[in-house]
Amino acid sequence: MNVRAHVSMVFHLDKCIGCHTCSLACKNLWTDRPGTEYMWWNNVETKPGTGYPTLYEDQEQYHGGWVLEDGKLRLKLGSRPTELVNISFNPRLPTLDDYYEPFTYRYKDLIDARPGEDQPVAKPISMITGEEMEIEAGPNWDDDLSGSPVYASNDPNLKALDQEQRKQFLEMQQLVFFYLPRICNHCLNPSCVAACPTGAIYKRGEDGIVLVSQEKCQGWRMCVSGCPYKKVYFNWNSGKAEKCILCYPRLETGQAPGCMHSCVGKIRYLGVVLYDADRIEETASRPDRELVEAQRNIILDPFDPDVIRQAQKDGVDEKVITAARKSPVYKYVKLWRLALPLHPEWRTLPMLFYVPPLLPVTASLTQQGRYELATDFFSSLESARMPIRYMASLFTAGDEDTVIAVYRKLLAGRMFKRAETVGDIPMEKALKALEEAQLTPREVEDIYYLTSLASFEEMFVIPPMLREVAIEMGVEPHEFQEERGAGFVRIPERGL
């Protein structure tokens, strides 16, 4: 056992209203520079949908992540020699067309227009060339399905459904969607790190944040292809790869990341989990259906005396262990087993987790003009509006049982609270559902509290991370800034 700490996040998808505030906070903080216009380190996708960049989930096209060959993990991108051979032209690199050409409008036209009969118009211009352009795509072109089943029907996850299910699913009246906010997953087995020929990408030992060293990066672009989530981006201006940094300068000063801090629906939880670094490869090499359970197992119980002893031995600070005990992420992922990793079959062991959405309850209008809940909704998962198989394709590598277990808990919790507060469901029925879902009323109250009532301090629990304190006395601050701090001693300018 080799205990390390990891700063992780949970997204409660039932609470996401798709407002994109997180994306904008991130954009304004980090990607408003030349070369980064098209990047959205945080983006919110409508699911079903094709995502950003388009069809990033289709690994037959992009070759991201890992594959298991004869029980061994290999980069889907290819062997090391293959990568070096492809270094002058990366055949798996998404181009700007797969994202979108960033645009703005020439607002000055509105002011400079000569008086005339017609209303002046601000023409769209490319943010890269400054030339006039036709807008053909955007970072959220299929937002809310864009009033069409076209985007939804191209979702790679729909391959999990059979012909009939697909048809039913895509009928406009049946069509239902939810939002999927995505940032870098700060994986335990990151394929971007493995794909980087230079070794410029690294994982921080103390908190697990994955970063690109801007000094070391030489712009070979293999990380962009290697990451199955397409969360490493190429800055065309600096010639360097960039990615979500989990707002580490904010974390180190005790503030929540920009996306989390600005979240309107309070869907995000951030906390520390302890994990066993000796079992990373073993966990990532399990068969598809065992991946979620294996990842739950690699996360360690911070109350277990053995774990605590080993953590102390491995240099995990006491404050970090304390934070791990109060971690909302630990509760959702390990204790309640409600939060699942996104696409575990890519075997990067992503360390962000999602509570799948229950979606609005199906209801019908009665003759008396009263909404009635569909009678079988709480008992029958088969009538769920989003097919279980679709969710399994997203969150459990196709294992429906794991998704059903999560939904049973979520539904039982709702039934129990409904019976308690509204009373239109008999309590016996609710208690029976709890039993089936293997939940106790006490647990439901805890889940309910953290889901609906918790304060920001309970949703965001990190130990003090001041890097300056972690540096020994006697190290020149200037040297520290050069070697380990955020930012540069000199202005980072594009090379010639």
Partner 1 sequence: MDAFWFIAFPYLALVLAIGVGIYRYYANRYSYSSLSSQLLENRKLFWGSVPWHYGITLILLAHLFAGLFPDAAAFILGGRIRLLVLELTGMALALFALFGLIVLIIRRLPTTSLVRRATSYMDGIVLAFLLVQVATGVSIAIFERWGSLWYLRTAVPWFWSLVKLHPDMSTVATLPGFVKVHFVVGFAIILLFPFTRLVHLVMFPIYYLWRPYQVVIWNRRPGGATVHSTETTR
> Which of 382, 493 has the CB closer to partner 1?
493
CB 254 within 8 A of CB 319: no
Shortest reach from residue 1's CB to partner 1, in Å: 13
Site pattern 300..339 for partner 1 (x: CB under 8 A): -------------xxxx-----------------------
Q: With binding defined as CB under 8 A, does residue 202 bind partner 1?
A: yes
Instruction: Retrieve residue 453's tokens.
Output: 């009532």
Q: Which helix (H) or strand (E) holds 395?
A: helix 388-395
Query: Cα–Cα distance between 12 and 357 in angstroms, integer?
Result: 7
Q: Which stretch binds partner 1 (CB under 8 A): 150-158, 176-184, 198-206, 340-348?
A: 198-206
CB 255, CB 92: distance < 8 Å: no
Is residue 124 involved in binding partner 1 (CB under 8 A)? no
Rounded to 5 degrees, φ, ψ at 199 are 80, 30
Cβ neighbors of 349 (< 8 A, separation 6 or more) are 187, 188, 189, 280, 283, 284, 295, 298, 341
Of the candidate residues 475, 477, 478, 481, the single one contacting partner 1 (CB under 8 A): 475
CB closer to partner 1 out of 293 and 314: 314
Contacts of 24 (CB under 8 A, 6+ apart): 262
Q: Does 231 bind partner 1 (CB under 8 A)?
A: no
| Residue 194 in the binding site for partner 1 (CB under 8 A) | yes
146 vs 198, beta carbon nearer partner 1: 198
Of 209, 250, 253, the C-alpha closest to 231 is 209
Give the binding range for partner 1 (CB under 8 A) out of 201-209, 266-274, 363-371, 449-457: 201-209
**Closest to 66 (Cα-Cα) out of 334, 291, 340, 353:** 291
Q: Return the residues of window 77-116 that contact partner 1 according to CB under 8 A.
A: 80-81, 83-84, 87-90, 93-96, 101
Binding test (CB under 8 A) with partner 1, winner from 12, 63, 203, 414: 203
Tell me the sheet residues that pair with 373: 363
Span interacting with partner 1, options 208-216, 330-338, 367-375, 451-459, rule CB under 8 A: 208-216
β-pairing, 240-243 vs 460-461, is unpaired
Which residue stretch of 24-32, 115-123, 242-250, 465-473 sits at the interface with partner 1 (rule: CB under 8 A)? 465-473
Helices (H), 326-452: 328-330, 388-395, 400-421, 427-436, 441-448
Q: Does residue 493 touch partner 1 according to CB under 8 A?
A: yes
Written as six digits, the tokens of 246 are: 């989990």
Q: Name the residue with tokens 């996360």.
A: 299
Determine if 299 is a binding residue for partner 1 (CB under 8 A): no
- Is residue 128 at the binding interface for partner 1, with CB under 8 A as the rule? yes
List residues near partner 1 by CB under 8 A. Answer: 80-81, 83-84, 87-90, 93-96, 101, 126, 128-129, 131, 189-190, 193-194, 197-199, 201-206, 214-221, 234, 236-240, 277, 280-281, 313-316, 467, 470-472, 475, 483-484, 488, 490, 492-496
